Amino acid sequence: MKTILVIGAGKSSSTLIKYLIENAEKENWKILIVDRDKKLITDKTKNHSSTEAFELDMMNEEARKPLIEKSDVVISMLPARFHIPIIEDCIKYKKHVITPSYVTSEIKAFNDEAEKAGILIMNELGLDPGIDHMSAMRILDHVKNLGGEIKYFESFTGGLVAPESDNNPWNYKFTWNPRNVVLAGQGSAAKFIQRGRYKYIPYNRLFRRSEVIDIEGYGKFEGYANRDSLKYRKIYGLENIPTIYRGTLRRVGFSRAWNNLVQIGATDDSYVMEGSASMTHRDFINSFLAYNPYDSVELKFRYYMRIDQDDAVWDKLVWLGLFENTPIGLNEDASPAQILQAIMEKKMNLEPGDKDMIVMYHKIGFKILDKHREINSWVVVEGKDQTYTAMSDTVGLPLGIFTKYLLRGDIKCKGVRLPIRREVYKPVLDELESYGIRFSEIEFETTKEEARLQ
| Segment 321 to 380, residues that bind its own copies, using CB under 8 A | 336
- Mask 51-90, x = binds its own copies (CB under 8 A)? ----------------------------------------
Cβ proximity to its own copies, 266 vs 381, nearer residue: 266
Are 19 and 51 in contact by the 8 Å Cβ rule? The answer is no
Are 34 and 6 in contact by the 8 Å Cβ rule? The answer is yes
Candidates 268, 311, 374, 441; binder of its own copies (CB under 8 A) is 268
Candidates 101, 175, 286, 394; binder of its own copies (CB under 8 A) is 286
Q: What is the secondary structure of 100-123 as a DSSP string?
A: SSPP-HHHHTTHHHHHHHT-EEE-
Cβ proximity to its own copies, 55 vs 324, nearer residue: 324
User: Identity (one letter) of the amino acid at 379?
Assistant: V
Three-state DSSP state, 260: helix
Assess 280 for contact with its own copies (CB under 8 A): no
- Shortest Cβ distance from residue 434 to its own copies (Å)? 41
Tell me how many degrees the CA angle 356-165-393 measures, rounded to the nearest 5.
Answer: 15
Q: What is the maximum span of the chain, computed from C-alpha positions, in angstroms?
A: 75
- Shortest Cβ distance from residue 274 to its own copies (Å)? 6
First to last CA, the chain: 54
User: Identity (one letter) of the amino acid at 324?
Assistant: E
- CA–CA dist 2, 25 (Å, integer): 11
Cβ proximity to its own copies, 293 vs 409, nearer residue: 293
- Shortest Cβ distance from residue 12 to its own copies (Å)? 31
Candidates 92, 195, 231, 422; binder of its own copies (CB under 8 A) is 195
- CA–CA dist 284, 337 (Å, integer): 11
| Segment 16 to 55, residues that bind its own copies, using CB under 8 A | none
Candidates 177, 188, 278, 325; binder of its own copies (CB under 8 A) is 188
Residue span binding its own copies (CB under 8 A) among the ranges 171-179, 282-290, 320-328, 418-426? 282-290
Are 441 and 398 in contact by the 8 Å Cβ rule? The answer is no
Candidates 239, 274, 351, 370; binder of its own copies (CB under 8 A) is 274
Cβ proximity to its own copies, 384 vs 448, nearer residue: 448
- Shortest Cβ distance from residue 206 to its own copies (Å)? 10
What are the CA-CA distances from residue 252 to residues 106, 128, 302, 345 (Å)?
38, 21, 21, 21
Residue span binding its own copies (CB under 8 A) among the ranges 126-134, 153-161, 273-281, 411-419? 273-281
- Shortest Cβ distance from residue 244 to its own copies (Å)? 12
What are the CA-CA distances from residue 303 to residues 254, 280, 290 (Å)?
20, 21, 11
Three-state DSSP state, 337: helix
Assess 202 for contact with its own copies (CB under 8 A): yes
- Mask 83-112, x = binds its own copies (CB under 8 A)? ------------------------------
SS (H, E, C) 64-104: HHHHHHCCCEEEECCCHHHHHHHHHHHHHCCCEEECCCCCC
Cβ proximity to its own copies, 51 vs 267, nearer residue: 267
Cβ proximity to its own copies, 274 vs 332, nearer residue: 274
Residue span binding its own copies (CB under 8 A) among the ranges 52-60, 271-279, 373-381, 387-395? 271-279
Cβ proximity to its own copies, 119 vs 337, nearer residue: 337
- CA–CA dist 51, 20 (Å, integer): 9
How big is the chain by its Cα radius of gyration, in Å? 24
Candidates 78, 189, 330, 350; binder of its own copies (CB under 8 A) is 189
Residue span binding its own copies (CB under 8 A) among the ranges 110-118, 259-267, 351-359, 373-381? 259-267
Q: Which residues contact 46 (CB under 8 A, 6 or more apart)?
A: none
Tell me how many degrees the CA angle 323-225-141 measures, rounded to the nearest 5.
Answer: 145
What are the CA-CA distances from residue 398 to residues 250, 377, 416, 419, 444 (Å)?
24, 18, 17, 10, 30
Candidates 293, 352, 353, 409; binder of its own copies (CB under 8 A) is 293
Candidates 191, 233, 367, 421; binder of its own copies (CB under 8 A) is 191
Which of 366, 343, 424 has its CA nearest to residue 96?
Answer: 424
| Distance of alpha carbon 388 from the chain centroid | 16
Cβ proximity to its own copies, 55 vs 268, nearer residue: 268
User: Identity (one letter) of the amino acid at 122?
Assistant: M
Residues that bind its own copies in the complex, under the rule CB under 8 A: 187-189, 191, 194-195, 197-202, 204-205, 209, 230, 262-265, 268, 270-271, 273-275, 286-291, 293, 336, 450, 452-454
